Amino acid sequence: MDTLTAISARHSIRKFNTKPIPMDVLEKVVDAGRLAPTARNEQPWEFVVVTDREMLRKVGETTDTGKFIIDAGACIAVICKATKYYLEDGCAATENILLAATALGVQSCWVAGDKKAYATSILNLLGVPANYNLVSLLALGYADGEPKTYAKRGLDRVLHWEKF
């Protein structure tokens, strides 16, 4: 799947079946995150891939809006060192992972990490050292049923030339 098709095809899935995702697919999507652009080439990211059913349950139950992680095939925690641009870098890695997953036939949903009350609990649960921030939790898997999609605003409603 080419990049523009993956961008158009990607949408959030919150209802997964529990089918496992092959390890080579998970490695490819994390590798896509690793290759994201990064300010000052700091590459502050680390990625924790969770596939254990009990750990998926714990992660999902710890969140406020990501309970569906419990049924996902995997969850990738995008974690960054507390650098000046960790959030921008971590979000770039997050988007790369989401698009790579789509290109490989895996559905996903981005669950917030940074600024959430549960972020420290997730970091502790995953054994992350101090001085790191949870940027995002990415639920990955295969949709249980037909996914619901939503229309995006048209280009003519969001594109401005030279001035707003």
92, 95, 97, 99 alpha-carbon torsion, rounded to 10°: -140
Categorize the per-residue pLDDT at 145 as very low, low, confident or very high, splitting at 50, 70 and 90. confident
Instruction: Please report the pLDDT score of residue 28 as a whole number.
Output: 98
**Alpha helix stretches (DSSP H) within 37-151:** 53-62, 86-103, 119-125
> What Rg, from alpha-carbon coordinates, does the chain have?
16
Q: Is 98 helix (H, G, I), strand (E, B) or coil?
A: helix
Q: Residues 100, 3: contact at Cβ < 8 Å?
A: no
Give the CATH class of 3-158.
Answer: alpha beta
Instruction: Please report the pLDDT score of residue 146 as a whole number.
Output: 82
H or E element, residue 155: helix 155-158
Q: Residues 50, 56: contact at Cβ < 8 Å?
A: yes
Instruction: Please report the pLDDT score of residue 51 as a whole number.
Output: 98
> CA-to-CA distance for 52 and 80, rounded, in angstroms?
22
